[in-house]
Amino acid sequence: MPRRWFLTIKNIRILVADDHPVVAVGVTQQLDRHPGFSVCSPVANSTELFAQLSVIEIDVLVTDYSMPGGDFGDGLTMLKRVRYKYPHICIVVFTGLDSPGIIAALNFNGIHAIVNKADAISELILAIDRAARGDGYHAKCVREIERASRAFYPQGVSALSRREAEVLRLYLAGSRVSEIADVLKRSAKTIYNQKRAAMTKLRCKTDAELFNLQAAGGITQQKLNEDDNT
């Protein structure tokens, strides 16, 4: 019996968006060899992406998450724009990022087909097939990232100390580290260290990942307030 990923809907029209030319061309060529796939010439940023979408019809967009340099941004900003302007297009995010926060943010925003660039091409093919059918799919490496995150940090915000939760609550509300230091009567260095400790527990390497996790509902002011009061 053939493997599931060969059972592809016929004539799926695909556009690949990636700012690395070798990746974009390589993925386009590999997908174009697959029966039932018709793949357009790739684009390198959001400017080229929306220019193409205005003149061609596609079923599935395979796009990198981080793709700077375009007029319409990248990441969630770009993806939300695609969903708003072209709600019929199914999206597969194909990324080298390994942030559980970004994965959660994508899910929260209705993008459920996610493939890591470390995954085999068969995983990308399966994700495209599932997306075209209206289903979600997290590829093997993405599932491993999620499992590792749950094992490393199973308790969520409740694992933060009272002071870490207090600092994070103020930071996510828009206060700067220096402003938080003034409010809490601590040194800026102490506030910075408590913020970094909280981010480590939340598996966030950058502020962008922290705000993505907040956008995904993984961090809320209510949760931080509850933890701050314990």
Q: Based on the structure, what is the number of domains in the chain?
A: 2
Instruction: Reply yes or no on whether the pLDDT at 75 is more than 50.
Output: yes
Instruction: Reply yes or no on whether the pLDDT at 223 is more than 80.
Output: no
| Rounded distance between C-alpha atoms, residue 144 and residue 174, angstroms | 33
Q: Are residues 73 and 110 in the same domain?
A: yes
Q: Are residues 93 and 161 in the same domain?
A: no
Q: Which two tokens stand for residue 140?
A: 């093997």
Q: Are residues 55 and 141 in the same domain?
A: yes
Residue 187 sits in a domain whose CATH number is 1.10.10.10
Q: Are residues 141 and 175 in the same domain?
A: no
Convert the pLDDT of each residue in 7-49 to its tens digit: 555 689 999 999 999 999 999 999 999 999 999 999 999 999 9
Residue 61 sits in a domain whose CATH number is 3.40.50.2300
Domain boundary among 98, 122, 150: 150
pLDDT of residue 1: 31
Q: Are residues 66 and 180 in the same domain?
A: no
- The stretches of 54-119 forming alpha helices (DSSP H) are 75-85, 100-108
Q: Are residues 181 and 209 in the same domain?
A: yes
pTM above the 0.75 mark?
no
List the domain range (segments joined by +) for residue 211.
Answer: 156-228
Mean pLDDT across the chain, nearest whole number?
86
Domain boundary among 150, 171, 200: 150
Q: Are residues 135 and 165 in the same domain?
A: no
Convert the pLDDT of each residue in 177-188 to its tens digit: 999 999 999 999
Q: Are residues 104 and 54 in the same domain?
A: yes
8 A C-beta contact, residue 72 and residue 43: no
- The pairing of strands 90-95 and 113-116 is parallel
**What is the percent of the chain where pLDDT is above 70?**
84
Domain boundary among 91, 126, 150: 150
